[in-house]
Amino acid sequence: MRKKVMTDENGKILAEVCKFVEQI
């Protein structure tokens, strides 16, 4: 369960980074 939460957090961060990169 903790691993799934960690993956979810990483996925959220990855999505934020992708969105940020697309803006540039």
Residue-by-residue DSSP string for 4-24: HHHHHHHHHHHHHHHHHHHH-
pLDDT value of residue 1: 61
What is the pLDDT, as a whole number, of residue 12? 93
Question: Residue type at 10?
Answer: N
Q: What was the pLDDT predicted at 21?
A: 87
Which residue stretches of the chain have pLDDT < 50?
A: none
Q: How far apart are CA 11 and CA 13, in angstroms?
A: 5
pLDDT of residue 3: 76
